[in-house]
Structure 1
Amino acid sequence: MKKLISQLKKEHELILSMMRDVKRLGIHTEAGAKKFIQTRYLLISHLNREDKQLYPPLFAQANNDRKLKLLLLELTAEIKNLTSRTLIFFDKYADISDIDEHFAAEAEKIFTDIKTRIEKEENSLYEEFKKLTTNRVSL
């Protein structure tokens, strides 16, 4: 289970690095456009991994832990909204010829929201997952 958290954190680092690269390279460059597409695929893969491997054991534990249940309900509602907005954003600009004057502001907002979400996951959700796996080992 520690391996999962380690993998998710590495993916977070890579996602943030790739978002910085898109900003630095510029979306109108071939390298920037390629990095933009790679970021989208990594985000989708990361979200799927969390949905399949992280959330199920946490929701199972939440049946006995009201605080955890409230945290999970808050975070899952939040991530559904962010995921929807993020996928719409990536789809909107999938073809670089569609990039307009709004791209920079929209990208900044999405990237900031993703960064904030990553911090929240690592500081709360992953800590709860570590507790869960530690408790299982000690039983």
Structure 2
Amino acid sequence: MPRLTDTLRGQHAQMRQVLDDVRQFGIGKEAGRERLRQARALIVEHLRQEDAELYPALHRNAGTQALAQSYADEMRRLSGDILAFFDSWQHGGGDLAFARHYGRLLGLLDRRWTREEVRLYPAYEQHCLRTDAA
């Protein structure tokens, strides 16, 4: 069974690929809108898994509680904007406006995913793996 953090990193890669597909197909084509729906579903599942498994484990460890709270609070603030992006473009729209909104979303997600992979997941691996595996 893969480690939770390996699964979450893999989900990041999958979300990046699907979002790149959205960009390549464009929002004006059904294939692009289908990929957009797929990306939304992947992100929702990723957030659910973090909330159900990652953050609880980090909160149980005194060494990672503050970090977990900080990341969870930030994600609560960001998730509304992220989901609003998907909901606002689900039926298509203007290419230029979409490109601008898409660029902002991708920048936000890339920064967040990088921070998770560089700081949050290693903290989980260092502090929580042994206690959760027992």
TM-score (norm 1): 0.86
CA displacement 1:27-61 (0-9 Å, x = unmatched)? 11121111111000000001000000100010111
CA distance in 1, matches of 2:122, 2:65: 14
1:77 aligned residue: 73
CA distance in 1, matches of 2:18, 2:5: 20
1:46 aligned residue: 46
CA distance in 2, matches of 1:74, 1:3: 23
Aligned match of 1:116 in 88, 105, 111?
Answer: 111
Unaligned runs of 5+ in 2: none
Residue 53 (structure 2) pairs with residue 60 (structure 1):
no
Q: Secondary structure at the match of 2:28?
A: coil
Q: Secondary structure at the match of 1:35?
A: helix
- Structural RMSD (CA): 2.0
- Report the count of equivalent residues: 133
Greater Cα offset, 19-28 or 37-46: 19-28
Greater Cα offset, 12-21 or 101-110: 101-110
Aligned match of 1:102 in 83, 97, 100?
Answer: 97
Q: Secondary structure at the match of 2:31?
A: helix
Residue 98 (structure 2) pairs with residue 125 (structure 1):
no
TM-score (norm 2): 0.89
